[in-house]
Amino acid sequence: MAIACFRLFTRPPLPALPERNVPCFFRRIALLTDFPAVFPYLGIVASLAEQAIVQQRYREETAQTMRGYL
């Protein structure tokens, strides 16, 4: 009972202490390593999108050329 009352009525120190919560610390580390790991995959997606645009332009140019022959 004394410990419960102590925790209930005790204030934390005025300058906030750094977070020492281990799961929070691991989460921060995981997020910091996760974000840079995505960049190569984003490059692949961007490359595929660019390739699709180039193919579409090629098809349009080919269609215009074929209309000129008909």
pLDDT at 16: 65
Assigned domain for 70 exists: yes
pTM (2 d.p.): 0.40
Assigned domain for 10 exists: no
Assigned domain for 24 exists: no
pLDDT at 39: 76
Assigned domain for 33 exists: no
Assigned domain for 53 exists: yes
pLDDT tens-place values along the chain, 70 residues long: 666 666 667 666 666 666 666 677 788 777 777 677 777 777 787 888 888 899 999 999 888 887 776 6
pLDDT at 48: 83
pLDDT at 2: 67
Assigned domain for 8 exists: no
Burial 17-41 (b: 16+ CB within 10 A, else e): eeeeeeeeeeeeeeeeeeeeeeeee
Residue 49's domain comprises 38-70
Tally of CA atoms within 13 A in the half-sphere of 6 that contains its CB: 3
Provide the domain count of the chain.
1
Closest by CA to 32, choosing from 21, 44, 24, is 24
